[in-house]
Amino acid sequence: MSEKSLLTFPCTFAIKAMGKSSPELDLLVVEIVRRHTPNLGEGAVSSRPSRGGNYTAITVVIEANSRQQLDAIYLDLNRSPHILMTL
């Protein structure tokens, strides 16, 4: 049985990760994403603190090449104890 995808690869894809605010959170998310997408474009990373400043949402826009690549990125992000949620 083949798995249908709503995405057509390659495509631009926004990966979102949230965690407790810290100066290292951006670097951690970028490091994890770069394991699977070494060539991040200029301006690919943005962050936004929560209203209270306790949490930060990091968005990394990549050129995704396959479903397997996206699955691997999300698996690595979710393994990190510093990442509370991914979208």
pLDDT in tens, 27-37: 999 999 999 99
12-35+45-86: CATH architecture: 2-Layer Sandwich (3.30)
pLDDT tens digit string along 24-60? 999 999 999 999 999 998 899 999 999 999 999 999 9
Residues forming beta bridges with residue 46, ordered by sequence position: 59
Tell me the three state secondary structure of residue 46. strand
Band of the pLDDT at 6, cuts 50, 70, 90?
Answer: confident
Return the domain boundaries, the chain. 12-35+45-86
Residue 60 CB-density burial (10 A; 0-12 exposed, 13-18 middle, 19+ buried): buried
pTM of the model: 0.91
